Amino acid sequence: MKRKMLSVILATAMVASVVSGCGSTASTSDTAAPAATEEATGTTEAAATPVAAGKEDNIIKIGAVCAMTGGSAIYGEGAQNAVDMAVEEINAAGGDYTVEIVNGGKVVDDAKDSKQAVNAYNSLIPDGPEAVIGSFFSSVTLPMAELANDQGMLLLACGATNTNVTLTGPTIFRDCFIDPYQGKMAAKFASEKGAAKAAVIYAKDDDYSNGLMEAFVENAEAGGIEVVYTGECTTTDTDFTAQASQAVASGADFVFYPCFLDTVPLFVQQVRDAGFEGMIMGGDGWDGSDTTGLETYFDNCYFTNHYSSEDTSEAVQSFVSKYTEKYGTESLTACAALYYDAIYMLVEAAKNGGGTDTASLVSGMTGMTFTGVGGTFTMDENGDPEKAIVVNTYDNGQIKWLETLQP
């Protein structure tokens, strides 16, 4: 698709229409996932507030959304810390542009829930942000993307890897890779490590898990790996003994589990207890999983991710050093790195576009080449970065950088 080629024109037109009185409603765009369209109906009165075009000044007003409560709160903690750190650095540097985080500088909680994400997004609009960053999860970012598209708002997703996010409209971007690429690289890794038979267990109620499962299966089979078992679970399951037993009985030497960190420890433990000694792998949703008491269970486990804190690049080591000094290492996840880069990307977009209003930021973001904690990448025609992917493993329960795979 060439939809980004017209992004500047479309963004300008949408902003103009909003300023003249268009309110925000949940979109029914055919490019978005049906589930997201249904969930996007949980709007509040704030949705009727028009998006401001922004002022021609040197202040970039940004709204931020992430999961601040619940089982994924570790991500929100990292996002808030990273945003605070980036803003402090940028404003202290005294450059051409400064940054202001609306909502009193606080990241708004989406609670990893699509309806709550819509409410969170809508709550930011009265403060007049010129861009919004977030969220980390695809299922909550998709409905926000529809609203942002309707309003001509620049939305920069930080971790939402579902392909449909940026296809929603020309003002939607992300600073992370997409699920098909992540699944492809996981299959490539499995093949390179000699896997012959794979078992896949995924959460049927989650867009992220479905997307990774489909990409992995397609690329594994194309690469000569036989998928001998496919099992389903849900995002709230805690008992995986049935799936684990069937995976072992299938003769698989590789298990792919593309789910999130809150269920990963239970899953790994139960698969190992079922007698599986082969490789277990997941996606970036594994980042931050608690391995306490299960250190040996995580031997021969791997996951794809957006960066590694052990990467020796100057950008990574500077970020890790400053973050660790301020906040420690507990919330030093890829989520933190993605939100940190997002702030700097918007400053770069202002420089490229020649202003801080939304249309200028969209113009400056389109086709941008950027170097940050996530490496050096260029935004493609869909607003997705073409970037490297990291494979991490575990050593006595601690995450270790194994290798970086180039696009």
SS3 208: helix
Within this chain, do residues 22 and 88 fall inside the same structural domain, yes or no?
yes
Q: Which two tokens stand for residue 15?
A: 């902003």
In a domain, residue 206? The reply is yes
In a domain, residue 147? The reply is yes
Within this chain, do residues 137 and 227 fall inside the same structural domain, yes or no?
no
Summarised one tens digit per residue, pLDDT across range 279-312 is 999 999 898 899 999 999 999 999 999 999 999 9
Within this chain, do residues 322 and 205 fall inside the same structural domain, yes or no?
no
> Rounded to whole angstroms, how far apart are CA atoms 149 and 331?
31
What domain count does the chain have? 2
Centroid of chain to Cα 293: 28
Within this chain, do residues 138 and 158 fall inside the same structural domain, yes or no?
yes
Last residue of a domain, one of 265, 280, 305: 305
In a domain, residue 405? The reply is no
Summarised one tens digit per residue, pLDDT across range 205-219 is 988 899 899 999 999
Residue 144 has pLDDT above 90, yes or no: yes
In a domain, residue 87? The reply is yes
Summarised one tens digit per residue, pLDDT across range 246-261 is 999 999 999 999 998 8
Within this chain, do residues 195 and 137 fall inside the same structural domain, yes or no?
no
Q: Which of 340, 325, 402 is nearest to 374 (CA)?
A: 340
> Rounded to whole angstroms, how far apart are CA atoms 19 and 10?
14
pLDDT at 194: 96
> Rounded to whole angstroms, how far apart are CA atoms 260 and 237?
12
Within this chain, do residues 192 and 108 fall inside the same structural domain, yes or no?
no
pLDDT at 56: 58
Summarised one tens digit per residue, pLDDT across range 228-242 is 999 999 999 999 999
Question: What confidence tier does 24 reach under pLDDT thresholds 50, 70, 90?
Answer: very low
> Rounded to whole angstroms, how far apart are CA atoms 178 and 406?
14
Sequence-distant (≥ 6) Cβ neighbours of residue 261 within 8 angstroms: 71, 72, 74, 285, 286, 287, 288, 289, 290
Segment 372-389 mean pLDDT? 94
pTM, to two decimals: 0.80
Last residue of a domain, one of 250, 280, 305: 305
Taking the CA atoms of residue 307, residue 310, residue 316 and residue 320 in that order, the dihedral angle to the nearest 10 degrees is 110
pLDDT at 42: 38
Q: Which two tokens stand for residue 32?
A: 């978005």
In a domain, residue 393? The reply is no
105 vs 69, 122, 148, 157, CA distance in Å?
A: 17, 16, 20, 18
Within this chain, do residues 368 and 232 fall inside the same structural domain, yes or no?
no
More confident site: 1 or 322: 322
The verdict on whether omega for the bond into residue 135 sits within 30 degrees of 0, i.e. cis, is yes
Range of the domain at 188: 180-305
Q: CATH code at 256? A: 3.40.50.2300
Q: Which two tokens stand for residue 241?
A: 């003994």
Q: Which two tokens stand for residue 406?
A: 């180039």
Within this chain, do residues 185 and 173 fall inside the same structural domain, yes or no?
no
Contact predicate 18/151, CB 8 Å: yes
Residue with tokens 């490789």: 279
Strand extents, DSSP E, 209-300: 226-233, 254-256, 279-282
Segment 162-188 mean pLDDT? 95
Q: Which two tokens stand for residue 347?
A: 């400053």
In a domain, residue 197? The reply is yes
> Rounded to whole angstroms, how far apart are CA atoms 123 and 387?
32
